[in-house]
Each structure stands twice: as structure tokens, then as C-alpha cells.
Amino acid sequence: MPKQKQGYKSQRLISISPEIIFNSQQNPINSTLYITKIGFFHAVKYHYNNKENGVDYYIILYCTSGQGWCMIGERTFEVKENQCIILPPNKPYSSGTNTTNPWTILDSFQRNISLLFF
């Protein structure tokens, strides 16, 4: 299967500025939950990511249509329409779309998501 890591025609990605991130970290109201990036990938047939050492932030991935998969360590999870998966920091992971039914995903990158576990 062909794989493409970035540069999709339908890709939309917003990175939050370091200044806003710093201010969020200092604010007691949202210091435990703030976004550093947010993205949208529409029906990307060859979407693929592989991070052998993981990343230093959480990734919340929400599939709005189609399907794909995520592998965290040695476990593989199928991700279908209207499902969400949280990829933990500092863990090897890979993810990709189903080429016959490509996923459309929204993803966000968080430094700290402790509020989600109350």
C-alpha cells in the first residue's frame, strides 16, 4: 500500500503560537487542558503516520467517516466512523487509513489532558 505522511490536498492544520501556549500554561483555568495543534484530514486515501519513539503530547483522533487503524505499542485498534481514540505521549504508535474506505479525521494535540479523566 502506498503511504503518504503529509502534504495532503484536503489537509487543514492549525498550529497555536508559542506565545499563546505559554499563556495557556500560566493560566490556572486552562493550564491542564490546552491545544497545541488541531487538524482536519478529509478522506485521505494513503494517510499514514509512524512515530517509533512516540511524541511528547497526547493526540485525540476523532473519525467522522470512513475507517482506519491505530497501533499503540503492540496493540492495534480499528477506528470507525464516530469513534475516538487517545494516543498517549511517549509511546510508539502508528496510524493509517483504510484504503477502500478512507477515513476523515479531526485530530488535536494536547500537552496535558488530566481534566478528561475526572
Map residue 59 onto helix, strand or coil.
Answer: strand
pLDDT higher than 70, residue 8:
no
The answer to whether residue 84 sits within a structural domain is yes
In the structure, what pLDDT confidence band is assigned to residue 93 with cuts at 50, 70 and 90?
very high
C-alpha cell at position 48: 499514514
The answer to whether residue 17 sits within a structural domain is yes
The answer to whether residue 4 sits within a structural domain is no
Structural domain tally of the chain?
1
Chain mean pLDDT for the chain? 83
In the structure, what pLDDT confidence band is assigned to residue 10 with cuts at 50, 70 and 90?
low
C-alpha cell at position 117: 479523566
Maximum Cα–Cα distance across the chain: 46
The answer to whether residue 6 sits within a structural domain is no
The pLDDT of residue 118:
44
Question: Letter for the amino acid at 48?
Answer: Y
Q: Higher pLDDT residue, 110 or 63?
A: 63
Q: In the chain, pLDDT over 70 holds for what percent of residues?
A: 84
CA-to-CA dists, residue 105 to 23, 90, 117, angstroms: 28, 22, 22
Contact yes or no for 14/38 (Cβ under 8 A) = yes
Each residue's pLDDT tens digit, 59-89:
889 999 999 999 998 999 999 999 999 998 8
Sign, Cα dihedral of 47, 51, 56, 33: positive
The answer to whether residue 89 sits within a structural domain is yes
Can you give the residue range of the structural domain that contains 102? 12-117
Contact yes or no for 33/5 (Cβ under 8 A) = no
The answer to whether residue 2 sits within a structural domain is no
The answer to whether residue 7 sits within a structural domain is no
Identify the CATH number of the domain in which residue 81 sits. Answer: 2.60.120.10
In whole angstroms, give the CA distance from residue 58 to residue 54: 10
The answer to whether residue 5 sits within a structural domain is no
Each residue's pLDDT tens digit, 23-46:
888 888 877 777 788 788 788 788
- Residue range 88-112: average pLDDT? 88
Contact yes or no for 44/72 (Cβ under 8 A) = no
